[in-house]
Amino acid sequence: MARELEGRIAAVTGAASGIGLASSEAMLAAGARVVMIDRDETALQALCERHGETATALVSDLLDPGDCARLLPKILDKAGQLDILHANAGTYIGGDLVDADSAAIDRMLNLNVNVVMKNVHDVLPHMIARRTGDIIITSSLAAHFPTPWEPVYASSKWAINCFVQTVRRQVFKHGIRVGSISPGPVVTALLKDWPAEKLKEARDQGSLLEPSEVAEVVMFMLTRPRGMTIRDVVMLPTNFDL
């Protein structure tokens, strides 16, 4: 891969696994320095040892208001600037609403919506001052049609879809590009409750995406000429409807 992100500083939330890890590794391969943000200290340290000095661990629990508020200062302390934010951290609740736990609903909405909005809010002044920046948010296919088996999760992603589209229109004049990726089902920890046989069957049928495939789209978005914004990409496994 050409080192198309040479000299760029990126921060990725939820970077210890899944899409966040794949995105981080794709950016590292393209020459970026990546601040990998996650609450899993053990996993982060192992990853940063593997990738060397271009990967920096930032242990943070984004559901803690203090940790969330200190995120940008910590990024700047470690890396000096920020060119790319991939707001990827999120969680999932599926099933019938009547069966959902209220505390779990609060946690999911806080992480999937409030934390994303606060992270973007906090990095914008830095990017506006520098007249450049890229913000990519991990959304979901669920942001684009009402999925009856996941009403809380889908609602969180509909909110993020609106957030991306409105913030984009506010900040493009400052040289900042804002976009989202909306994948269908991806082989990540969010599928941990799937039975092993169902996961194998879906993989064999080609009805799941791999995190690396999502990362390729992130890289496509980041490496377009500055005069082009890839706004919102919906990704589906070809055999999704089987």
Question: Annotated active-site positions, please?
Answer: 153
**Which residue(s) pair with 208 in the sheet?**
none
- Residue with the two structure tokens 């020459």: 31
Task: Output the CA torsion sign for 111, 70, 57, 44.
Answer: negative
Nearest to 7 by CA among 84, 119, 71: 84
CA atoms in the 13 A half-sphere facing the CB of 152: 23
Using an 8 Å Cβ cutoff, are 183 and 211 in contact? Answer: no
In angstroms, the CA 226 to CA 224 distance is 6
In angstroms, the CA 214 to CA 210 distance is 7
Query: Where are the strands (E) in 14-109, listed by range?
Result: 33-38, 55-59, 84-87
